[in-house]
Structure 1
Amino acid sequence: MTEQFAVWTENDVEQSARWGSTSNAPVPKRIVVADDTMKADDAYRLACEGTALLWRGDFQNARQLSKAVASRIDRKPRRASDDPAKAFHLHRQTQGRRAQILGMLLIPLDADLSIPLRRAPDAQVALTEAFGITGEPSVRSLRDILGAIGAHEWHRKGVFIEALDARVHPAFGVFSPVRGEYVDLVTSAPLPSTESAFDIGTGTGVLAAVLARRGVKTVTATDQDPRALQCARTNLSRLGYGDQVNVVEADLFPEGTAPLVVCNPPWIPAKATSPIEYAVYDPAGAMLKGFLTGVAAHLDDGGEAWLILSDIAEHLGLRTRSELHDLIAAGGLTVVDRIDVKPTHAKVSDRTDALHAARARETTSLWRLRRR
């Protein structure tokens, strides 16, 4: 990717610094310098107009300003629709606009990724993990920086997985397995064999670890994302399954066949707006279609494909159950069984959530599939 630079005028001198964005946002066309004298109403107005604010004041004051701008964004009434699909797309537009406005508050970074602002945290380790050292000054949104710091804390503390009686440590940009119901499904479903298995789109490696803990002798875990591949290898080694699970880079399937092929694809067929969102949003349902189209060729005779999938897309009007069954049939597969579980995460009961109606009806399922 071509390097981009943020350009602004400060003390009547044109200055520039390398531009970075986790979501691949374009460089703001206009950047002005701001400090602790900036009022929230003015910051909100400028950001809405597309003017970014390069912060030179106190770091903690920048955080407070961002919260104040967010409150002004959220104060605007949401557009409503009785059509679930339209309501979802309106929600995504609102969230996208919110992220765009909040992304206009910029923070300077020194070449070593230290933050040259008063009361700034010592975040070099977190920012290095997330962005890598470029060896030159740069500019990023406060939103990006806080995201990296938060991800570092997730990575450091880890997420306790009851099925493993251990913690899994997600890396920056790798989806955290905080929704335990899909892990529980893989823990409880009857194994067709303990000889070998494939885990497609492994992420943190959590499902590969569960299969290994259940006694599957060899597991091949695949992913395309370099961060996920390294994260999975680190987690599996830490958990003691490094020799039992082989993590390989692949577009869906590794070579060969196995008696069990497991996949937990992104559940919502919609456009992702940042790398981390590819764990939730599957543009045009491409990964789901790819898995169902190709898995039969990678199954041993009598083997099973386990598809872990929420039906939230159905409740959002983005996919029908008959369309899912058509995809299964088109892949030369038949349904042996379906194991269902209701999610228990906090948003299920959050009536203020824009997607509450769909979340309240959501079911997560493990579909046991075989070749016809």
Structure 2
Amino acid sequence: MGRCRSSEIILSRIEWTDDHTPRTAAWHSENGALAPRTVTVADDRLSADQAYRRIRAGAALLWQGDYNNGRQLLQALGRRADRKPNKQAPAADLGARYEHERARRRTRAGILGSLLVELDADYELDLRRAPDVRAACAAAYGPATESRVVTFTELLGVLSAYRWQQQGVEVPALGARVYPDYGVFSPTRSEYVDLVAAAPLPTGARTAFDLGTGTGVLAALLARRGLTKVVATDINPRALRCARENADRLGYGATIEVTGPTLYPDGRADVVVCNPPWLPGTPTSDLERGVYDHDQSMLTEFIADLRAHLTPDGEGWLVLSDLAELLGLRSPAHIPTLLDRAGLTVHDTLTTRPRHPRATDRDDPLAAARTAETTTLWRLRAR
């Protein structure tokens, strides 16, 4: 589900003073955040309360203390942010509760994102007890060119993604592991993969499109099911690279063609699979573009153009959760209306329940929606 356009990262400059000496470095933010205007140096002598007050006053803190202490400071800042919500959560309205939760998380992320670290021109992190981050940063950002400042939370995300990239994610339906790159949505929710594995193929199907391929997991699954030509697309350059690598690693390099940036490739296919972002909303990073579909543009384009890309007996497989409907973010009539306008009919549906931990977390503010959520594969045909 890495179905997203990669953010264009423009390295602006960030300035601060260190021991009365002016300093500057490139500013790098994967979510496109502007460089902070006020930056002060901080180390182990700064208490969590002091750090929180400085951040709330508008300053960003460039961490120069111990690495592990910096991680502990992030946790302490998170606890303080959680103690002071911006307003009381709505009691019953799930849509309002969802918007409140997103706003709360944005505020929290802004506070945690005000703790910064500097990477030198070789991606070395010059902090006491710091791990070697050079390989992880090179994998995420490409070759180093100059020193840069990033948020501590972004660096931790880079390190976490690199571990996934090294160890891979087991996909039972595929009988193998796939290896997600940084900025590409990881297929840790297996129910949508299982639906694609279980859906009956149209009689005589040989070709398929996998739209918004991400890691390439669904393209690989279609190849494993015997389709002889699979074209996988994405608009995220990182996803295109990741899908090619996974196809080659799994032995499907000759079967799977990865192309982009685009949603639909040229031509027609017997099966066209699309697993668009499940929630309407504005994403703030490449990973969020795997969750939030701005103006529902991907869903709309997939349905509107599907008929022109199906063979006469072909099927389009739309894999989508109903969480948006449960939260009031999308009308239950929205998808049927789009299908009717596009001249499509629903031949069949396959439905399953999510199995991820949040689906049974009663403390989740959106528990009422998550416990009722279903994921459906719609088998669509031209009318």
TM-score (normalised: structure 1): 0.98
Matches of residues 263-342 of structure 1 in structure 2 within 5 Å?
263-342=274-353
Instruction: Show structure 2 runs of 5+ residues with no match.
Output: 1-8
Aligned residue number for residue 88 of structure 2: 79
Q: Which moved more, 1:43-52 or 1:289-298?
A: 43-52
C-alpha separation in 2, matches of 1:190 and 1:33: 60
Deviation at 1:2, TM superposition (A): 4.8
Seen in structure 2, the aligned counterparts of structure 1 residues 283 and 118 have a Cα distance that, compared at 3 Å, is same
Aligned residue number for residue 29 of structure 2: 21
- Aligned residues, how many? 372
Aligned residue number for residue 48 of structure 1: 56
Deviation at 1:275, TM superposition (A): 1.3
The C-alpha deviation readout for 1:110-133, integer Å capped at 9, x for no partner, is 100010111010110001111223
Deviation at 1:66, TM superposition (A): 0.6
Deviation at 1:79, TM superposition (A): 2.6
C-alpha separation in 2, matches of 1:153 and 1:134: 20
C-alpha separation in 1, matches of 2:54 and 2:307: 54
- AA at the equivalent of 1:208: A
Instruction: Show structure 1 runs of 5+ residues with no match.
Output: none
- AA at the equivalent of 1:188: A
- AA at the equivalent of 1:34: A
Assess if the C-alpha contact under 8 Å between 2:28 and 2:150 holds in 1: yes
Assess if the C-alpha contact under 8 Å between 1:113 and 1:133 holds in 2: no
- AA at the equivalent of 1:16: T
Q: Which moved more, 1:352-361 or 1:197-206?
A: 352-361
Q: Which moved more, 1:67-76 or 1:177-186?
A: 67-76
Seen in structure 2, the aligned counterparts of structure 1 residues 2 and 266 have a Cα distance that, compared at 3 Å, is closer
Aligned residue number for residue 6 of structure 2: none
C-alpha separation in 2, matches of 1:250 and 1:53: 37
- AA at the equivalent of 1:56: Q
Q: Which moved more, 1:192-201 or 1:211-220?
A: 192-201
Mapped pair 1:62 → 2:73? no
Aligned residue number for residue 243 of structure 1: 254
Assess if the C-alpha contact under 8 Å between 1:111 and 1:133 holds in 2: no
The C-alpha deviation readout for 1:138-174, integer Å capped at 9, x for no partner, is 1111001000000000111111011111101100000
Mapped pair 1:36 → 2:47? no
Deviation at 1:135, TM superposition (A): 1.9
Assess if the C-alpha contact under 8 Å between 1:24 and 1:274 holds in 2: yes
C-alpha separation in 1, matches of 2:37 and 2:223: 51
- AA at the equivalent of 2:288: E
Assess if the C-alpha contact under 8 Å between 2:44 and 2:65 holds in 1: yes
Over the matched positions of the two proteins, sequence identity in percent amounts to: 49
SS of the counterpart of 1:361? coil
SS of the counterpart of 2:145? coil
Structure number with higher relative contact order (C-alpha < 8 Å, ≥ 6 residues apart): 2
SS of the counterpart of 2:123? coil
C-alpha separation in 2, matches of 1:100 and 1:80: 19
- AA at the equivalent of 2:68: Q
Aligned residue number for residue 220 of structure 1: 231
SS of the counterpart of 1:308? strand
Aligned residue number for residue 188 of structure 1: 198
What is the CA RMSD across the aligned residues, in angstroms?
A: 1.1
Deviation at 1:293, TM superposition (A): 0.6
Seen in structure 2, the aligned counterparts of structure 1 residues 250 and 331 have a Cα distance that, compared at 3 Å, is farther
Equivalent of 1:154, from 159, 164, 189?
Answer: 164
TM-score (normalised: structure 2): 0.95
C-alpha separation in 2, matches of 1:49 and 1:211: 53
The C-alpha deviation readout for 1:53-85, integer Å capped at 9, x for no partner, is 011111111001111111111122463222222
C-alpha separation in 1, matches of 2:142 and 2:361: 37
Mapped pair 1:126 → 2:148? no
Q: Which moved more, 1:126-135 or 1:309-318?
A: 126-135
